Amino acid sequence: MVATEHTVPATMAAMLLTGHGDIEKLEYHQDVATPQPKTGEVLVQVTATAKNNTDRKAREGLYPTKDKGEVTSLPWVARRH
């Protein structure tokens, strides 16, 4: 196996969930900071993703969570540039 070095960009494109509600609560951004893995973690490049009914119901606030506060961004990567 040949080791290959890759340069990780400082930013990436991502879909961000900004709160509970309809589709307008999903926002596409091309300038999200690329996560920096901690010890024991890895960074993977996602080239495709999908959503299902669980994702939709969570976005709409139909699934209870421990924290009833603000919804924060979810790490769903659309495509890294």
Looking at residue 11, its pLDDT comes to 93
Confidence category of residue 33, pLDDT binned at 50, 70, 90: very high
- CA gap 44, 14 in Å, rounded: 14
Looking at residue 15, its pLDDT comes to 86
> Structure pTM?
0.58
Looking at residue 73, its pLDDT comes to 45
The residue type found at 20 is: H
